[in-house]
A and B are shown apart, each in its own frame.
Chain A
Amino acid sequence: MIIKKPADIKSSEITDENLYLNRRNFLRGAVLAGTTVATGMLYRRLNASGKKAPATIAARESAAPYHTAEGEAANDLEDITNYNNFYEFSTSKQAVAVRAKGFITRPWSIEIAGLVHKPKVFDLDDIVKLAPVEDRVYRLRCVEGWSMVIPWLGLPLGRLLREVEPTGEARYVNFITLLDPQRMPNQKTAVLPWPYVEGLRLDEAMHPLTILATGLYGKTLPPQNGAPLRLVVPWKYGFKSIKSIVRIVLTANEPKTTWSDYAPDEYGFYSNVNPEVDHPRWSQARERRIGEFGMRSTLMFNGYADQVAQLYAGMDLKKYF
């Protein structure tokens, strides 16, 4: 403070020193408290962690009725529904649940076209009626290096494909996600080329492990997990399991897929879980199971080698990664 002309101020007008110091301390306290709260709010806004952390493994083992065939407990519903890679809503795994809230999935139809004898547009309800939906507790291994155990509810994709009768030339199946930037707001950005597309070889698609999921934990699929209908291919990295499917096309040639089109040297068409073939920028030898502190060894074909390895007999998996 600079007092320029002290003589102009009557001594009676000079603030008492104690009062002055009190006022100053009060102001400083207010500045400290105000900026701290503002910084805290900014931190929270920019760096939301999503929902609560998982319960401990021990708690999950006792509480979860769902286990894989190998006895691994399913992850908490909380984790499964608040940690999602679904770029149509957000590139932040923690933000997808919030941004996908209220996503309208009815009415929903799925068109099956291409090299089939009976192309058809299915209503979602027709598909569910094709076969009884069943629980399938699968490991899901993300290409980013984390994994979960998810109790899906669904039906074999093969059941639907048989319905449309693929022709003799059909060798691949192409899947396409909904394109609707109004309902999937992050499609307004150019993070990836939209719509998201994926593909399988026909024999992979017909494999009994491959399912179309309509729910998880015995309930309807939440939007953030790919409602109302998504693919689940448990021996491949998670991004192969395309969400919110509106179109399935059978083709003679290997279809374009979003990630391998985006970065061909990093993501292949097959993208089978393989601890021996690293992502160019990180190792795939280990994974962090959500809810666990340490790292697990990643298993060949995500632990489904017994059932699927014969699909790739004689193939160089380093070349066809």
Chain B
Amino acid sequence: MTVPDIKFVKLAVFVNAAVPIALLARDAYYHELGANPLEFVTHTTGMLTLVFLMLTLAVTPLRKATGQPWLIRLRRMLGLFAFFYGSLHLLAFAWFDKSFVLRAIIDDTLKRPFILLGMLGFLLMVPLAITSTNKMVKRLGGERWNRLHRAVYFAAGAGVLHYYLLVKADTRIPITFGFVLAILLGYRALNKYFPSITERAPVRRPVARSQPN
């Protein structure tokens, strides 16, 4: 397999990652969000946050297991999409459920464990989004940056638990998220001690040139 043109792959990932928000906006415009559109927007953005967190966390296992180092170059965008959908989710909650009354948001956060967990997960993502630029990686230094960005494991864990604690009876979807997260984190643990099992030698072929910038 040749290494694909990363610029094009990034474009394709970006466009695809933006499909849900485009469809959500389209459906809102045409009043096709169902009987409870506000709840629908809140649930959809929450679900998308978890999906993109899982995709972000899948990059490293995927790149190591397949020996395709270029995959790492998609990680930042996926992580920022998780943060983007997470921000929309929080905005929906603060607006639709709490009418932007700060006092009500704080009270509810402290009173309800599932909201606290969601809030915690979001707050953990904030510094990661801020330090996602190349400049910040340089400024922090690779090792420190890596350590900081391990917070994403906890953000994802908090997010899954937040979802699990919210549902009334049908826990199948949150449990599936938990299972996926366990595999993605389990891979990392295994990789630390037995890289010979989990890794494939990276494919090192010349990268196809992208068009000049």
Q: Mark B1-42, 1 if CB is under 8 A from A, else 0.
A: 010000010011001100110010001000111111111100
Stretch of B73-81, B151-159, B164-172, B183-191 on the interface side: B164-172
Assess whether A253 is interfacial by the CB under 8 Å rule: no
Stretch of A38-46, A109-117, A158-166 on the interface side: A38-46
Assembled-state Cα–Cα distance A52/B168 (Å): 25
Instruction: Scan residues 154-213 of chain B and give those whose CB is less than 8 A from a CB of chain A.
Output: 165-166, 168-170, 172, 205-206, 208
A293 CB contacts on chain B under 8 angstroms: 38, 96
Assembled-state Cα–Cα distance A124/B111 (Å): 47
Stretch of A127-135, A175-183, A282-290 on the interface side: A282-290
Assembled-state Cα–Cα distance A83/B40 (Å): 11
Least distance between A235 CB and chain B CB atoms (Å):
21
* B99 in contact with A49 (CB, 8 Å): no
Candidates B15, B19, B108, B112; contact of A43 at CB < 8 Å? B19
Main SS at interface, chain B? helix
B interface residues, tally (CB under 8 Å): 39
Stretch of A12-20, A29-37, A61-69, A304-312 on the interface side: A29-37
Interface size classification for chain A = 35 or more
B12 CB contacts on chain A under 8 angstroms: 31-32, 35
* B36 in contact with A146 (CB, 8 Å): yes
**Would you list 7 pairs from A and B whose C-beta atoms are within 8 A, ordered by A residue?**
A44-B23, A53-B31, A82-B35, A87-B169, A93-B36, A283-B111, A295-B99
Least distance between A200 CB and chain B CB atoms (Å):
22
Assess whether B44 is interfacial by the CB under 8 Å rule: yes
Assembled-state Cα–Cα distance A295/B104 (Å): 13
Assess whether B53 is interfacial by the CB under 8 Å rule: no
Assess whether A50 is interfacial by the CB under 8 Å rule: yes
Assembled-state Cα–Cα distance A51/B36 (Å): 10
B111 CB contacts on chain A under 8 angstroms: 283
Instruction: Scan residues 48-97 of chain A and give those whose CB is less than 8 A from a CB of chain B.
Output: 49-54, 78-79, 82-83, 87, 91, 93-94
Least distance between A100 CB and chain B CB atoms (Å):
15
